[in-house]
Homo-oligomer: A and B are copies of this chain.
Amino acid sequence: MKTYTVAVVGATGAVGEQIIKFLAERKFPIKELRPLASKRSAGNTILFNGEEIVVQEAVPEAFEGVDIALFSAGGSISEKLAPEAVKRGAVVIDNTNAFRMDPDVPLVVPEVNKEAIRQHKGIIANPNCSTIQMVVALKPLYERYGFDRVVVTTFQAVSGSGWQAVVELEDQVRASVNNDQLPLKVMPVGKLDKHYPIAFNVIPQCDVGLENGYTLEEMKMVRETNKIFADDKIQVTATCVRVPVYRGHSESVYVELKEDFDLEEVRELLANFPGIVVQDNIQEQVYPMPNEVTGQTEVYVGRIRRDLHHSHALNFWVVADNLLKGAATNAIQIAEALISED
């Protein structure tokens, strides 16, 4: 069996750690694992298959001999180093926003558009976490009925903003119990001027605000959905909101299908689709919630119900672990699909 030298850039971050765990758990055919990180984290060790491996600094030369490089260290690192990795013969699977809308870069959710991988020119992009779980749930509906309009509102966990945001929520909660006040530093967007509490609050902003009144996160959901389905006629309207949840994004999705549908058939289509788990019975209080999907790799769908007025419209609720299917799992699935074509 062919084996591969795999670099993980951002090896000590929230998603990088999980990717390394999956490479071991899913028995990815590894020749050499090369964990890379910032200068600050270089020299630390990580555990892989019971072996201690030293984290190296992510510099261009670190990609010599690498077959596959999984990037999760922020957009600017990807912009700088992904081309260096490609130049040295690696295929890059990039988890940041750096290349997602580049026409030369396939944007892939394996359950939805695995075939796009073949068109890569060195870089394959992993979509935004909120987009991934929505398009997985929409795919079986797209195939059977087609749709144009989607209205989505998200409930996004703080881990989507990295470990600092998780620590900030933990600290705020501890402070509230002790009646302390803490300086605000991270939420909603670390690099912006204003910071708001996230404990016991919701913030209708994920990522920076744009001139058109939307946030970048909302525009990612709009544009990435068009690109993944390779269908510019799909009209997504998104409202992205941060909630005081550590892990697990939830989404309220309204979709207008192109034709009338049978609700039982919709439930079956979703339940039979790879990567989807249906948990749906409101009268028995069965529906997915973020605290129950932590650590799960699937996309969970519930609250499936007809619009009361529009015969083609449907509502549902989608929950997934944003660090797994929203990031690490999807990246590994892309890597697995890539080597299966080898």
Judge if A71 is at the interface, Cβ distance under 8 Å.
no
Q: Which residues of B contact A290 (CB under 8 A)?
A: 200-202
Judge if A97 is at the interface, Cβ distance under 8 Å.
no
Binds B, one of A41-49, A62-70, A191-199: A191-199
> In the complex, how many residues of chain A place their beta carbon closer than 8 angstroms to a beta carbon of chain B?
61
Contacts A222-B308, A252-B153, A291-B200 given; indicate if A282 touches B237 (C-beta within 8 A): no
Q: How many copies does the complex hold?
A: 2
Q: Which residues of B contact A239 (CB under 8 A)?
A: 153, 252, 254, 303, 315, 317
Contact call B188/A177, Cβ cutoff below 8 A: no
Judge if A271 is at the interface, Cβ distance under 8 Å.
no
> For window 56-115 of chain A, which residues contact chain B by CB distance below 8 Å?
none
Judge if A181 is at the interface, Cβ distance under 8 Å.
no
**Bound CA–CA A197/B246 (angstroms):** 13
**Bound CA–CA A210/B173 (angstroms):** 35
**Bound CA–CA A304/B239 (angstroms):** 11
Contacts A239-B317, A250-B202, A303-B239 given; indicate if A194 touches B308 (C-beta within 8 A): no
**Bound CA–CA A200/B307 (angstroms):** 29
Looking at chain A's contact residues, is the secondary structure mostly helix, strand, loop, or mixed?
mixed
> For window 164-214 of chain A, which residues contact chain B by CB distance below 8 Å?
173-174, 176-177, 188, 192-194, 196-197, 200-205, 209-214
Known contacts A196-B291, A201-B291, A211-B283; 9 additional CB pairs below 8 A are A188-B285, A193-B285, A201-B289, A201-B290, A204-B289, A209-B282, A213-B304, A237-B254, A244-B244
Sorted nearest first, the 10 A-B pairs with minimum C-beta distance are: A213-B305, A209-B282, A235-B309, A153-B153, A153-B252, A201-B291, A239-B252, A194-B285, A209-B283, A204-B317
